[in-house]
């Protein structure tokens, strides 16, 4: 079984009627519900308002892949919890960061760059699959049309990814590395750009399939979770 924790800030859905209409159960509720249809996935959710943001040591120890969506409360996120998540990723926990979670403390810590980008509200996107042989691209069409999406554009200040699987094109002519993988310690990370809260992006079957594929890709292999400590070796 792959044990998944879907973490969401869960702020916009409670504050704005138009967003609550799209995600009445929150973005985390939507993502959890399609993940639960996979027989080998067990899914729990956590949100910002829970003690320790719901990401206690115990929860992380029981998590193979953590999915995060965040936006408005990035600065308020606990440094202690961000450090805890970082150490679990280094030890082999998979991490999937969605949309504006690029700018989370967790991602900034793990990737070490500013994570800045260009953005503009109210655009449309053609999401091109540029690495069709990658496991995250399995069963995904050459291009996914997103009739409404926020524009994220280059330069995206990330370290060089292991793989770029999706490139986004926007009507203003901007392009973006929309789906990238990274390795940190024993952990695999996938960043995926689509998912602005004002549009029903996570209800789209192709987007759901990409996230399902990414969970399988980022899950630790066998018993590979470990604490990253230096070992003294005798000759
Ligand atoms: Zn957004």
Q: What is the pTM of this model?
A: 0.97
Strands 143-153 and 118-129, sheet pairing: antiparallel
Is pLDDT larger for residue 223 or for residue 173? 173
Tokens of 15: 């504050």
> Which one, of 107, 66, 84, 89, lies nearest residue 214 by Cα?
66
For residue 1, report the distance from its CA to the centre of ligand 1, in Å. Answer: 32
Kindly state the average pLDDT of the residues 98-105: 98
Position 206 confidence tier, pLDDT thresholds 50, 70, 90: very high
pLDDT of amino acid 113:
98
> What does the DSSP assignment read for 91-147?
TT-EEEEEGGGGGSHHHHHHH-S----EEEEEEEEEEEES-TTSGGGTT--SEEEEE
Cβ pair 152, 117 in contact under 8 A: yes
At residue 226, does pLDDT exceed 90?
no
- For residue 164, what are the β-bridge partners? 180
Position 10 confidence tier, pLDDT thresholds 50, 70, 90: very high
For residue 68, report the distance from its CA to the centre of ligand 1, in Å. Answer: 14
pLDDT of amino acid 227:
72
For residue 100, report the distance from its CA to the centre of ligand 1, in Å. Answer: 6
Kindly state the average pLDDT of the residues 45-57: 98
Kindly state the average pLDDT of the residues 51-61: 98
Tokens 């399902």 -> residue: 212
For residue 125, report the distance from its CA to the centre of ligand 1, in Å. Answer: 13
Kindly state the average pLDDT of the residues 25-51: 98
For residue 133, report the distance from its CA to the centre of ligand 1, in Å. Answer: 29
Q: Give per-residue burial for 79-105: e unless 16+ CB within 10 Å, then b.
A: eebbebbbbbbbbbbbbbbbbbbbbbb
Quick one: DSSP state of residue 221? Answer: P
Position 57 confidence tier, pLDDT thresholds 50, 70, 90: very high
Position 230 confidence tier, pLDDT thresholds 50, 70, 90: confident
pLDDT of amino acid 13:
97
Position 224 confidence tier, pLDDT thresholds 50, 70, 90: low
Average pLDDT, the chain: 97
3-class DSSP assignment, residue 144: strand
pLDDT of amino acid 153:
98
At residue 222, does pLDDT exceed 80?
no
For residue 42, report the distance from its CA to the centre of ligand 1, in Å. Answer: 28
For residue 225, report the distance from its CA to the centre of ligand 1, in Å. Answer: 33
Kindly state the average pLDDT of the residues 13-25: 98
At residue 229, does pLDDT exceed 90?
no
For residue 197, report the distance from its CA to the centre of ligand 1, in Å. Answer: 6
């Amino acid at each position: 079984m792959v044990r998944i924790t879907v973490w969401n800030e869960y702020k916009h859905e409670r504050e704005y009627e138009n967003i609550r209409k799209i995600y009445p159960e929150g973005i985390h509720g939507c993502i959890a519900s399609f993940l639960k249809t996979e027989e080998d996935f067990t899914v729990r959710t956590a949100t910002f308002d829970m003690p320790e943001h719901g990401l206690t040591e115990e929860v992380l120890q029981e998590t193979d892949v953590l999915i995060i969506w965040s936006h408005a409360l990035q600065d308020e996120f606990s440094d202690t919890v961000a450090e805890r998540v970082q150490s679990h990723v280094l030890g082999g926990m998979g991490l999937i960061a969605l949309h504006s979670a690029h700018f989370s403390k967790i991602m900034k810590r793990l990737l070490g760059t500013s994570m800045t980008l260009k953005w503009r509200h109210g655009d449309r996107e053609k999401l091109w699959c540029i690495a069709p042989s990658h496991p995250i691209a399995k069963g995904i069409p050459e291009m996914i049309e997103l009739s409404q999406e926020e524009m994220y554009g280059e330069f995206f200040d990330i370290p060089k990814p292991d793989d770029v699987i999706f490139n986004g094109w926007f009507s203003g002519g901007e392009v973006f590395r929309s789906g990238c993988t990274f390795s940190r310690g024993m952990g695999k990370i996938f960043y995926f750009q689509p998912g602005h809260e004002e549009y029903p992006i996570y209800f789209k079957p192709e987007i759901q399939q990409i996230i399902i594929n990414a969970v399988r890709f980022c899950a630790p292999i066998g018993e590979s979770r470990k604490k990253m400590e230096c070992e003294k070796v005798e000759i």
